[in-house]
Amino acid sequence: MDALDDGLDRLWTPHRMAYIKGDDQPRATYETPAGCPFCLAPEAPSETGLVVARGKVVYALLNRYPYNPGHLMICPYRHVADYPDLDGEETLELAEFTQAAMRVIRRVSGAHGFNLGMNQGAVAGAGIAAHLHQHVVPRWGGDTNFMPVIGVTKVLPQLLADTRDLLASAWAEA
Ligand SMILES: [Zn+2]
């Protein structure tokens, strides 16, 4: 644990209420890449797209509706839904980015554990089923106890921006 802990060690969930209430809620189906946030994110500046790292065929971005601070997703640039449809290069780099994400999050936040995985298909819980994304969710002992957090002193976009900067810097150094 070091001074950087404070960058990620609080759970802020009020923004999930906005998500649940439907503000800016992703549509269940993105039929075309034109409306797909995972196709659009890497085209935006990293600060606004919340992109943490860019690889050759995949990239990492911060989840705007995180389950925990530092919740990242690894996506192929290519608009592809089904994991078996990834080609060899995408499969390899997605795995490497998952490993890098764990190392980076551990370094900046001292995460105790992780949930990794993909929801395949809307029936399995994928919010944006048309473009696959590997979740990397850091966990801390007792983190569910933080859920009723009060006293968030910054507005959420700033929290997300700070978190992105922290992770992107650590990723670049790794
Ligand atoms: Zn897409």
Q: How far is the CA of 39 from the centre of ligand 1 (A)?
A: 4
Return d(Cα 165, Cα 160) in angstroms, integer.
Answer: 9
Active site residue 112: no
Q: How far is the CA of 144 from the centre of ligand 1 (A)?
A: 31
Neighbour order of strands in the sheet with 113-117: 51-54, 58-62, 72-76, 134-139, 113-117
Q: How far is the CA of 40 from the centre of ligand 1 (A)?
A: 7
**Of 15, 131, 133, 135, which residue is the catalytic one?**
133
Number of C-beta neighbours around residue 97 at 10 A: 25
Cα 56 → chain centroid: 18
**Each residue's pLDDT expressed in tens, for the chain with a length of 174 residues:** 343 444 444 444 444 444 444 444 444 444 456 789 999 999 999 999 999 999 999 999 999 888 888 999 999 999 999 999 999 999 999 999 999 999 999 999 889 999 999 999 988 888 889 999 999 999 888 775 443 343 444 456 678 888 999 999 999 998
Q: How far is the CA of 19 from the centre of ligand 1 (A)?
A: 20
| Whole-prediction pTM | 0.76
